[in-house]
Amino acid sequence: MVTNMNDNFACFILTYGRPQNINTLRSLKNSGYNGKIFLLCSDDDKKLEEYKQLHENVIVFNKRDMLGTFDKMDNFGNEKCVVYARNKCFDVAKYLGIDYFCMLDDDYTTFSYSEDNNGNYIGNKKIKNINKIFEYMVEFIKNTTVKTVCFAQGGDFI
């Protein structure tokens, strides 16, 4: 049986430089999501004030505070990557008392599925009740030893 996620689940949208065009925000709402959403922004975003003016639940973090806490696995010497926000998401969720969350980039234009209940390919069908999918995901995590669930993106299949 699927449990109600209520205050124990949220979607974090990791976003940078597009406060007026967060596709994922629209896509979640178009897929029926009615839970908590937080926008995670770094303080070096030149459009940070615009985010704060246009949106609720904007959480700001400092990339430099995270230096040395993980290996970025590159030799470019800059901070232009989403891994800072991905790692910070866990700290933010813990601080907010959220045990289960979905971490999303800001450019998802739709949420869809492509197989029926029998595993047959049916083309891309828009998800109309993404809340149920998140509820099943949380239930799966609660009842197994799995700690992380990943959903594939369309580009993953190219």
pLDDT per residue as tens digits for the range 96-120: 999 999 999 999 999 998 889 999 9
Residue 123: its H or E element:
strand 121-126
pLDDT per residue as tens digits for the range 26-85: 999 999 999 999 999 999 999 999 999 999 999 999 988 887 777 667 777 667 778 889
Q: Alpha-carbon distance 99 to 58, whole Å?
A: 19
Strand residue runs (E) in the chain: 9-14, 36-42, 58-61, 100-105, 112-115, 121-126
Q: Which of 45, 92, 46 is nearest to 66 (CA)?
A: 92
Rg of the chain over CA atoms, in angstroms? 17
- At residue 6 the predicted structure's pLDDT band, cuts being 50, 70 and 90, is low
pLDDT of residue 4: 57
Residue 113 three-state SS: strand
pLDDT of residue 5: 62
Give strand pairing partners of 101. Answer: 10
pLDDT of residue 1: 42
pLDDT of residue 124: 87
pLDDT of residue 123: 87
Average pLDDT of span 139-158:
87
C-beta separation of 62 from 85 below 8 A: no
Residue 12 three-state SS: strand
